[in-house]
Amino acid sequence: MKNLFLTNRPFIILSGIILIFILALVYPFLFRIGQIALIGVGGIIVLDVFVLFAKKKPISISRHVDPISNLGDENKIRYTISNHFPFPISIRFFEEFPIQMQERKFLTRFGMKANSEVKQEHNFTPKERGEFVFNNSNLFVRSILGFVERRVVIHHQTSTAVYPSILQMKQFELIVFNKSNQDRGIKKIRTLGHNNEFEQIKNYVHGDDFRRINWKATSRRNELMINQYQDERSQSIYCLIDKGRAMKMPFEGLTLLDYAINSTLAFSNIAIKKGDKVGVISFSNKIAASLPAEKSRHHLKKISENLYNQKTHFLETDYELLFYTLRNQVKTRSLLLLFTNFESEYSLRRNLPILKRINQKHLLTVIFFENTEIEEVFMEKAFNVNDIYLNTLAEKHIMDKRKLLIELRNNGIQCILSKPEELTLNSINKYLEFKSKGMI
């Protein structure tokens, strides 16, 4: 039987029986004892096999995974396991996890009473976006005799779609819109939009702009009626996500692109709640996706769906293509949050003229990343020449990053140098700063 396995217990007992037969060469009366023990062990094994294989479906299991999981957060898998044997059993439980998780050591041991049910939970943290498929469940069942194991394979598939973290989005929403934060004071915001949002039709009053006269309403009422407009308060905000090779760099299991996508979703939720319009453009050597700025409550779902399957391209980023795309698609002055990464002064200087041209028409904010692993190397104590050499290189890299920050600011470009784990918080704070200063 391919699903039948001997445990260690009969081998241990057989070792003792072999020892008895060896001693029987000196003490012949032990030979009979060895024969009886051997027959007894064989009988117990046969009985154990019969007991375990008496039922066709001895174990049933149901697996529950949320259809949508959060990238970079703990998600739960819930199992309900039922024992249909009329006697207690012990179980070793192996699960076939999705290949993206690279989980090969998951093992759970537990006992079950006769005709009972057990609930199990397991946490998993996805490090990639996309579809995760959970395959078969494997259970190795032992009776109270414990001489053999029966493998029970439950053939079932469960899938979950790993999206940018909705949990983090909700957490930052609670922080920003907490009532205690709003009670600290609200500053008047200078609006930069045009007076083109229709409010109502009212009677003409001396001094009103005659160009706003509504002639259809005037003919119906037989008196001058005028369209009244209110200031357009919604500003356009675009999250520009670089998908070039520089964004493939991993930190704590997630790539820089994943951090940028999680931050974009959380930031978009805050901006829409504050009445602004949010759009998304992802690019590398070509434009991968482009969502026009909107502020409807359904737009956040579009953004999440748009970012769901975005992958890093191992190619050089084309900022000139981004410039022409913005010129053709974004006609009004907008806040642009560019999530990218510059690792050298050369890479920044090569693209700086294009960034300056973008900043002339829009409010551009370049967001790039600190290399926290290099900072850890710099903070380590040096005990030999090799350590001193590594510390010096790490310090030079950190100083180069600071120079990039100064270079951008000297050219009138807003910028954020952020640790990957603090990216969302820093992006939202910068947005709120712009709102309070009336820059958007």
Tens of pLDDT, residues 112-162: 888 899 888 888 888 888 888 888 888 899 888 888 888 888 888 888 888
The Cα 336–Cα 215 span in angstroms is 40
Q: What is the mean pLDDT of residues 273-300?
A: 88
The two structure tokens encoding residue 171: 């957490």
Q: Is a pLDDT exceeding 50 seen at residue 184?
A: no
Q: What is the pTM of this model?
A: 0.68
Fold of the domain built from segment(s) 59-163: Immunoglobulin-like (2.60.40)
Task: Tell me the sheet residues that pair with 93.
Answer: 108, 139
* pLDDT reported for residue 1: 62
pLDDT, residue 177, reads: 65
E-state strands within 231-372 = 236-242, 250-251, 254-255, 277-283, 287-294, 335-339, 363-369
Inter-CA distances, 118 with 63, 82, 114, Å: 12, 6, 11
**Residues linked to residue 416 through DSSP beta bridges, in sequence order:** 367
- 396 or 191, which is more confident? 396
**At 261, which helix (H) or strand (E)?**
helix 256-273
Residue 87: closest CA among 135, 54, 109: 54
Residue 196 confidence class, pLDDT cut points 50, 70, 90: low
The 10s digit of each residue's pLDDT in 319-344 is: 999 999 999 999 888 999 999 988 88
Residue 243 has pLDDT above 60, yes or no: yes
Phi–psi pair at 250, nearest 5 degrees? -95, 145
Distances (CA, A) of 201 to 146, 226, 281, 408: 86, 6, 38, 48
Q: What is the pLDDT of residue 195?
A: 45
- Longest C-alpha distance within the chain, in Å? 130
pLDDT above 90 covers a percentage of the chain that reads: 14
pLDDT at 414: 92
Q: Provide the pairing of β-strand 130-134 with 137-142.
A: unpaired
Model confidence over 63-100: pLDDT tens digits? 898 888 888 888 888 999 999 988 898 988 888 888 77
- Which CATH architecture group holds 166-187+233-437? 3-Layer(aba) Sandwich (3.40)
Q: Has residue 308 got a pLDDT over 50?
A: yes
- Evaluate if residue 189 carries a pLDDT over 70: no
- 159-163, 311-315, 355-359, 414-418: which has the minimum mean pLDDT? 311-315
Which SS3 state, helix, strand or coil, does residue 363 take? strand
Listed ranges 3-17, 43-57, 228-242; the one with the highest mean pLDDT? 43-57
* CA separation, residue 133 to residues 104, 108, 136, 147, 363 (Å): 15, 20, 10, 35, 42
Query: What is the length of the chain?
Result: 440
Instruction: Give Cα 267 to chain centroid, integer Å.
Output: 15
- Residue-level pLDDT at 29: 82
Q: How far is CA 302 from the centre of its chain?
A: 17
Beta bridge partners of 363: 335
**Which comes out higher in pLDDT, residue 183 or 23?**
23
* Residues contacting residue 347 through CB under 8 Å, at least 6 positions apart: 246
**Rounded CA gap, 160 and 429, in Å?**
32
pLDDT of residue 335: 92
Answer yes or no: same fold for 59-163 and 166-187+233-437: no
Q: Are 63 and 78 in contact (CB under 8 A)?
A: yes
Judge contact between 188 and 231, C-beta under 8 A: no
Q: Is the pLDDT of residue 367 over 80?
A: yes
Least confident of 124-138, 172-186, 240-254: 172-186
Supply the mean pLDDT for the chain: 83
Domain ranges of the chain: 4-52, 59-163, 166-187+233-437, 197-230
Look at residue 396 and tell me whether its pLDDT is greater than 60: yes
For residues 285 and 389, what is the distance between their CA atoms, to the nearest angstrom?
36
Confidence band for 233, pLDDT divided at 50, 70 and 90: low
Of the pLDDT bands very low, low, confident and very high (cuts 50, 70, 90), residue 272 is confident
Q: Are 227 and 252 in contact (CB under 8 A)?
A: no
